[in-house]
């Protein structure tokens, strides 16, 4: 369920130390970034080794939904309640400055810290997968065959609560040193982004 508080509460773990002015706990900003993203990098520690796995996700109210095979390492770790961090990054631009030092990137990113919960209830699991697919391609759900009981059994669904969370973003041009401003070199931003191309139909 959506809550109405405007901001998440920062914690010691979500306090941004470098360029904190670019950090925000604003709920609308966090949701906006999560809704614009497609891939989360989900980190956890397995036998003292940090592992970071790229995964599709969707925001469902105040949770991130993840899904995968019951045999996938990240899914079993999350289902067991292993502490995790899901990071979503949107690269918006390459920032070209007049000096090497001031080159940068424009971006929006969010890190969600916490423990996942397996969605076990069958109706809730079906609904979560519907939310997932509807976000993947809106309207597709009405056209395709849904999961059968065997497929449902082979799929783990995890919800990661969006509670301990922080966003960070950079916008704008390069921030050059005054003495470099007269250098005869192009400076500015090259916008980049995720873009869909023309669909390629399957042979069947
Ligand atoms: C864009 C994208 C979206 C994906 N979405 C999903 C999803 O929604 N659900 C899902 O279950 N899987 C998804 N995957 C696949 C996912 O990244 C894992 O490969 C998958 O969970 C199976 O991992 P595993 O259990 O075999 O590996 P693990 O046992 O977890 O890891 C074994 C080793 O393989 C490495 N590894 C695992 N996956 C990758 C990878 N993708 N790239 C490089 N090294 C890897 C690990 O770091 C580790 O060293 C997605 C991959 C990508 C790139």
Return the ligand 1 atom nearest residue 57 CA: 8
pLDDT of the residue at 20: 87
Give the Å distance between the CA of 54 and the centre of ligand 1. 6
- The full set of domain ranges for the chain reads 20-172
DSSP assignment of 14-26 equals G---SSGGGEE-B
Looking at 1-15, 78-92, 110-124, 159-173, which range is the least confident one?
1-15
For 23-80, write each residue's pLDDT tens digit: 999 999 999 999 999 999 999 999 999 999 999 999 999 999 999 999 999 999 999 9
Give the SS3 label for residue 31: helix
Question: Measuring CA to CA, which residue among 75, 102, 98, 72 is closest to residue 86?
Answer: 75
Looking at 2-16, 146-160, 171-185, which range is the least confident one?
2-16
Question: Chain-wide mean pLDDT for the chain?
Answer: 95
- Binning pLDDT at 50, 70 and 90, where does residue 86 land? very high
Average pLDDT value for residue range 7-27: 91
Q: Residue 47 to residues 44, 77, 85: CA-CA distances in angstroms?
A: 10, 11, 16
Query: Which residue of 39, 55, 82, 116 sits with most ligand 1 atoms within 8 Å of its CB, as the best mutation to test the pocket?
Result: 55
pLDDT of the residue at 1: 46
Which residues form ligand 1's pocket by a CB distance below 6 Å? 39, 51, 53-56, 67-69, 72-75
Closest C-alpha residue for ligand 1 atom 8: 56
- Over 90: is that where the pLDDT of 19 sits? no
Give the Å distance between the CA of 115 and the centre of ligand 1. 19
Closest C-alpha residue for ligand 1 atom 4: 55
Return the ligand 1 atom nearest residue 74 CA: 30
Q: How far apart are CA 77 and CA 2, in angstroms?
A: 27
Return the ligand 1 atom nearest residue 71 CA: 25
**Contact partners, residue 51, CB within 8 Å, separation at least 6:** 43, 44, 45, 73, 74
Give 7's DSSP letter.
B
Tell whether domain 20-172 is in CATH 3.40.50.740: no
Average pLDDT value for residue range 134-158: 95
- Binning pLDDT at 50, 70 and 90, where does residue 5 land? confident
pLDDT of the residue at 70: 96
Task: Specify whether the CB–CB gap between 62 and 1 falls below 8 A.
Answer: yes
């Amino acid at each position: 369920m959506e809550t109405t508080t405007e901001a998440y509460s920062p914690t010691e773990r979500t306090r941004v130390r470098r360029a904190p002015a670019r950090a925000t706990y604003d709920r609308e900003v966090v949701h906006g970034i999560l809704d614009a993203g497609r891939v989360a990098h989900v980190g956890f520690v397995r036998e003292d080794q940090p592992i970071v796995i790229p995964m599709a996700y969707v925001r469902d109210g105040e949770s991130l939904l993840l899904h995968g095979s019951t045999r996938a390492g990240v899914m079993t770790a999350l289902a067991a309640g292993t502490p995790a961090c899901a990071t979503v990054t949107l690269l918006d631009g390459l920032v070209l400055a007049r000096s090497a030092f001031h080159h940068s990137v424009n971006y929006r990113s969010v890190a969600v810290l916490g423990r996942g919960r397996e969605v076990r209830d069958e109706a809730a699991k079906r609904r979560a997968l519907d939310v997932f697919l509807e976000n993947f391609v809106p309207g597709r759900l009405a056209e395709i065959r849904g999961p059968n009981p065997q497929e449902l059994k082979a799929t783990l669904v995890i919800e990661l609560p969006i509670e301990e969370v922080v966003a960070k973003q950079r916008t704008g041009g390069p921030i050059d040193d005054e003495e470099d401003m007269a250098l005869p070199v192009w400076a500015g931003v090259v916008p980049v982004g995720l873009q869909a191309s023309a669909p390629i139909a399957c042979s069947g």
